[in-house]
Structure 1
Amino acid sequence: MWTQPENPPGKTTLNVPLQCSHTLDIISSLNTVPNPIIRTITYKFFGKLTFDVHMALYNGNYTTPYTGWEAVLSTEEVLYVGVFFLGGTSNYVLLMKNCYATPTNDMNDPQKYQFFQSSCSKLEYSILILKESGSSNKGRFSVSLFKYVRNNNRAYVHCAMSVCDISTVPYSQCACDGPGIPYSFNVALTIGPIRRSDPIPTTPDSIPTTPDPIPTTPESGSSIITGAHIFWTLLIPALIILIQSL
């Protein structure tokens, strides 16, 4: 049994309680859960600097990572996507250039649901918010995924990104130009599957509609004039005139 040793003569022990706290973000929060859903690609830049580029999925905010082998959310829930790199120096920033969803893990699947194609355009919709891109080693966006990917129960998210050295290239060029920028490189990551937890909504926006049938009988308060009606309307007065002339 362990007992605290007695203080030497003339010595006093002072017990000071300590508490450490750390602000959670898309990087540090991944260490708070087991088996977060994350994808990684390693890139060696000019044979010198090594970058590990990551993409992860978050639930409810950017500090609660999804765990396991798939993310599950309802049609009404918002999916939070975070990308970041580790390595290099503070001169490098990450730019999300082209992010979209497909029903399969093939990023070349012809059925694409585009989130944004150019970070320069800063496209925002009621179901999509581009939160951060091109200002640090992190990028973030949120999307009501299954309001956008309407007729699928499963989806994968793909992101093409650039990592750029803004100390050697003007920021505007780094952010807006395509491949071939000096001191930059492009990477792409795929993450999923992401599964819908509720049935596909059968709303007019999500299913085709058929035209109303043409009425065959007049409704109350309305009239339908047909060719037969016009024929008899004209024939009867003509017969009366003919009989009177005989």
Structure 2
Amino acid sequence: MKVFLGIILIIGFIKQVYLQCENSCHLDEECLPFIINGTTHYSCECNATIYNNDPDFPLLLSNVPVYCSPNQLAIKLTSCLGQRMLDFNILLPDENIVDNQCFSHSEAVNFDFTEFQFNFSSTATNCQAAISMNSTHVTYSVPVWFKYNTTNQIVIIYNDILVTYNCSYPLTMNASLNIGLNPYLSPDHLSIARFGTHVLTMQLFKYSNYTGSYTIADLPIYIKVGTPLYIGASIMGPDPQRFSMKIDSCYATPTSNPSDPIKYNFISDSCPLPGFITISFIQDGVDLMVYFSMKAFRMARYSQVYLHCSFSLCAGKCPPSCSGTQ
């Protein structure tokens, strides 16, 4: 009975603590009581253990969340951290845009966070973002200064803080034309594959100047074997002044499953494979759009054909070394 009663008391205590604050407190907050007209209430307050007389601001800033989007990164500072830095006379990024050349803008988020955004596109001429690449990813590094405000200060007791925030993006992406046609090859519209925050789009066009993409409204679409197919791909996010996109490989399957064991490869290592399909590269490896054409074909015993391609980013321009036509 004592054990059972103890469990009840523990559950009751947990429930009481849980109900003290209406909303969950942030990691740098604690739920504390306050009294109004003799009634005890609770609210989330800045944790005094973290924000003591000498907070470890470098450690706190190294742990703020970082969000990566095309050509931009954002950091979110809690209201406790932001206010405490102001209390210690440390300038936030929007108060020191001279040193934070990549700074874009800031905005309050539900009064709990302030989001600071930084651009790293080449169009931001003064931005000092560094770019590094390995075999799989490109990484943008943005230096963010949190400087001690020395205005009217006789004695300087704090160091400036420089934090470098990084966003990495994959160099290789995949996309598929995800709608097969009966009875002839004519995969429709587009399929979007998201990797990080880069968006890759591949679509089938009606005309030889790569306009008038097919949509679901055009279904059913019948294309005779041997009819030219005009296929294009584009990517949103990478800096067009620094990167180009090229096609790595393409293959066809009789189903929409890219892992279908039945497949026919027709582009490999950025070049057409020997075979009966005529492929022409109209634009490849010179900017962020790839255009190529090929003749429609049918896979024996199957009424539909789906195309799947792999693309990669490269620094500068990287046109294929093959002739481009097979």
Q: Higher RCO, 1 or 2 (CA under 8 Å, sep at least 6)?
A: 1
The higher radius of gyration belongs to 1
TM-score, reference length from structure 1: 0.46
TM-score, reference length from structure 2: 0.35
Structure that is richer in strand per residue: 2
